[in-house]
Amino acid sequence: MIGFYNYTVILTYLSLVSAASGIIISLGGTGHPYIGTFFLLACGLFDSFDGMVARTKHDRTDLEKGFGIQIDSLSDLVAFGVLPMCIGSAMIRTSPVAHNLFFPDHFTFYRVVYWIIIALMVLYVLAAMIRLAYFNVTEEERQKTEGGKRKEYLGLPVTSAALIFPSVMLLQYITTIDITLVYFPVILITGLLFILPIRIPKPGLRGTLILIGIGFLEFLLMILTKILNK
């Protein structure tokens, strides 16, 4: 079979499998956006370590390195671009308030708002793709001229979606009101931050571990809120 299947790419493959599973669960049947968010957190965890694991293999060929870079970006687009969009779509379908607002028996102003929200989610995925492609080409150019490790990012990394949207989902269950519609201004702002030329320091090992700790805390809080809301 074509491709590579050694341990350096396993976490990236797992991230894509998690993302695809989250999409299916969020959109399938009655929809489960809450469970889909757990898969988004898992994608963030896998992505946090895939680069570290890959760099432990010192005899990687240029072909293996290039392959790893490509599948990382492709996986990130699905995990942190498409999956958050699917979670948002599922939230609309599973929220009684949003469903009654956007899908009445007759045409209303809110039906127009619904299509605007759909457009926002599609633009979010487009922004994620642009961010990933721009990072790839600029990183390749930087390696030729500067070399060494990158110290900062231009634009918000798309992997930040793994912490941003679970936070919104937590608010949905912590508060006593339905805040489904809050998700979509957040998706708009996040998408804009992907492509705005803002400089963000790249976290080192300590910063990465802190972010993983935040994600783990979100994971525990989501389980706790689900149990308490039964």
Q: Is residue 1 part of a domain?
A: no
Tens digits of per-residue pLDDT, 145-161? 766 677 888 899 999 99
Q: Alpha-carbon distance 14 to 10, whole Å?
A: 6
Helices within 155-230 (DSSP H only) = 161-174, 183-195, 205-228
Q: Which residues pair with 152 in a beta bridge?
A: 201
Q: Which domain holds residue 88?
A: 7-228
Q: Is residue 113 part of a domain?
A: yes
Query: Which tokens is 40 given?
Result: 């988004």
Q: What is the CATH number of the domain that holds 16?
A: 1.20.120
Q: Is residue 217 part of a domain?
A: yes
Which parts of the chain register pLDDT below 70?
A: 105-106, 146-148, 229-230
**Domain tally for the chain?**
1
Q: Which residues pair with 201 in a beta bridge?
A: 152
DSSP letter (8 states) at residue 9: G
Task: Identify whether the C-beta of residue 157 lies closer than 8 Å to the C-beta of residue 207.
Answer: no
Q: Is residue 172 part of a domain?
A: yes
Q: Alpha-carbon distance 22 to 29, whole Å?
A: 13
**Side-chain-side CA neighbours of residue 227 (13 Å):** 6
Q: Is residue 2 part of a domain?
A: no
Tens digits of per-residue pLDDT, 77-95? 999 999 999 999 999 988 8
Tens digits of per-residue pLDDT, 160-187? 999 999 999 888 877 777 888 899 999 9
